[in-house]
């Protein structure tokens, strides 16, 4: 059973968008998946409540408090965790310490990547990460294809030992799916198909 954690200390990086769409991708192919919300805003749980019943089932779990985390997830193929911000809470450190994969979204902005690099330095000291038992994958999120900062983002993170795994475009479609409790892997329409390819490196990585 995989525990796939979305986490970053920088707010607004799109953790919930990555978490919900990744959960949909796994569920749509037949995996038994839960989406655990460890963020105080509980955006992922709200998304689960909006999810249509005729689509692939995703169980919602409230993990906003340490005592809420139990053994129920052992029966699942994967649990996708929308993590809390930062490393200050005991909950955040425990989730990182138990994760199979750690996905860190980052925006193509100097302010965002400075904060994210500091965050990556912090989690690298956690025992499980330090011993290589949990993989860290950095995902460039909400990428504007016209932006010249993407190349700078790639160079900066590669130089620090964190090459970008995937690049997710900034599309209105994600906001529409978020409002409907759906994701880009729920449907085979042309718009969703066009951007699903951007997720393949991430899906391959968590399957490895």
User: What is the four-CA torsion angle of 102, 108, 113, 115, rounded to 10 degrees?
Assistant: -90
C-alpha pair distances (Å), 58 with each of 19, 170, 176 = 12, 24, 18
Query: Does the pTM exceed 0.75?
Result: yes
Task: Tell me the C-alpha distance between 115 and 93, whole Å.
Answer: 17
Q: Are the CB atoms for 36 and 80 separated by under 8 Å?
A: yes
Ramachandran angles phi, psi of 61, nearest 5°: -125, 135
Range of 184's domain? Answer: 2-206
User: For residue 157, what are its two tokens?
Assistant: 């993170």
Q: Identify the band that residue 43 occupies on the pLDDT scale cut at 50, 70 and 90.
A: very high
The count of structural domains within the chain is: 1
Angle at 60 between CA 7 and CA 35, to 5 degrees: 35
Q: HSE-up of 154 (CA within 13 Å, CB side)?
A: 9
CA 159, chain centre distance (Å): 23
pLDDT score of 24: 98
pLDDT tens column, 111-156: 888 999 999 988 887 767 777 778 899 999 999 877 778 889 999 9
DSSP 91-124: HHHHHHHH-SEEEEEE-SSHHHHHHHHHHHHHHT
Q: What is the CATH number of the domain that holds 62?
A: 3.40.50.300
Instruction: Return the residue matching tokens 């310490």.
Output: 97
pLDDT tens column, 52-94: 999 999 999 999 876 566 655 568 999 999 998 766 778 888 8
């Amino acid at each position: 059973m995989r525990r796939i954690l979305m986490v970053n200390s920088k707010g607004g990086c799109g953790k919930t968008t990555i978490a919900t769409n990744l959960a949909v991708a796994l569920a749509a192919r037949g995996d038994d998946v839960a989406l655990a919300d460890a963020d105080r805003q509980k955006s992922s749980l709200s998304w689960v409540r909006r999810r249509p019943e005729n689509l692939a089932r995703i169980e919602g779990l409230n993990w906003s408090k340490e005592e809420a985390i139990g053994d129920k997830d052992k029966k699942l193929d994967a649990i996708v965790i929308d993590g809390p911000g930062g490393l200050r809470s005991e909950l955040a450190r425990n989730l990182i310490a138990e994760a199979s994969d750690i996905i860190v979204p980052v925006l193509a902005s100097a302010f965002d990547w400075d904060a994210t690099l500091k965050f990556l330095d912090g989690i690298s000291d956690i025992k499980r990460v330090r011993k290589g038992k949990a993989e860290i994958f950095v995902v460039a999120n909400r990428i504007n294809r016209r932006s010249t900062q993407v190349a700078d983002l790639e160079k900066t993170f590669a130089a620090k030992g964190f090459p970008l795994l995937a690049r997710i475009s900034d599309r209105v479609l994600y906001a529409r799916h978020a409002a409907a409790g759906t994701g880009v892997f729920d449907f085979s329409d042309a718009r969703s198909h066009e951007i699903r390819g951007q997720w393949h490196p991430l899906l391959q990585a968590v399957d490895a």
